[in-house]
Amino acid sequence: MTTNQQCQAVLFDLDGVLTPTALVHERAWSQLFERAFAHLGVERTYTTDDYLRFVDGRPRYAGVAAVLASRGVTLDEGAPTDAPGFSTVCALGNLKNELFTEVLARDGVEAYPGSRALLDALQRRGTPVAVVSSSRNARRVLEAAGLLQRFPVIVDGAYAAEHGLAGKPAPDTYLEAARRLQVDPRHAVVVEDALSGVASGRAGGFGLVVGVDRGAGAAALREHGADVVVTDLAELIEADDELPTPAESSAEQSETGERKHA
């Protein structure tokens, strides 16, 4: 990661960026839709492609609605207080959360070694960091991975709902994290693995958007807003002097009207 003073903060997505909880989420989503499709009479099975296209990076209820819409199924939205089940979008979302909690408690989670190494490097340099996650389980996951104390600012799904913030790909949650860190978005870095997440960073006018390719594909990440794509966050430490700084990225965007996708 650049040591240039213009990089005043780094804002991380959680699942798939800091921890492999995307795998836990994928298992929970798969179990959810296996049950839901059987209950609703949907014949086309749920796949990993569905997770990447309709679920990854989105708020939970939005992910449920998107998958159902892809199968031509419409359910009432319901309310967040709905009991877990199959009657509404919110009920399905709440069932997914139960399944996620069960898988996390059984399997646990550890931070990616490269992600922990980058956090160590940022801590040594005194660079402020935040977590921006669509998940309402972000604090639970961070605690399980031993990372909770690293982040003074956490903007997760619960925080977004409480404060009326739109979820990714809208930039609201990232902008809120930058505001709480008292950092101009043009001087901050967003690190994301989801297409909706890099789109969020781009829409927010952040100085640098780093895509982490955990399966979405480098080309797709760049197309949706990533300036730089890596496969492991340790690469950002090794590429310290090669990455464009947030200031450089913002200047280029101002001159050309769009980001560079090299």
Active site residues: 13, 15
Q: How far apart are CA 155 and CA 130, in angstroms?
A: 8
Beta-carbon contacts of residue 29 (< 8 Å; ≥ 6 apart)? 46, 51, 55, 63, 96
Look-up of token digits 């550890």: 110
For residue 158, the tally of other CB atoms under 10 A from its CB is 15
3-class state of residue 193 by DSSP: coil
Rg of the chain over all Cα atoms, to the nearest angstrom: 18
> Are the C-beta atoms of 136 and 63 separated by less than 8 Å?
no
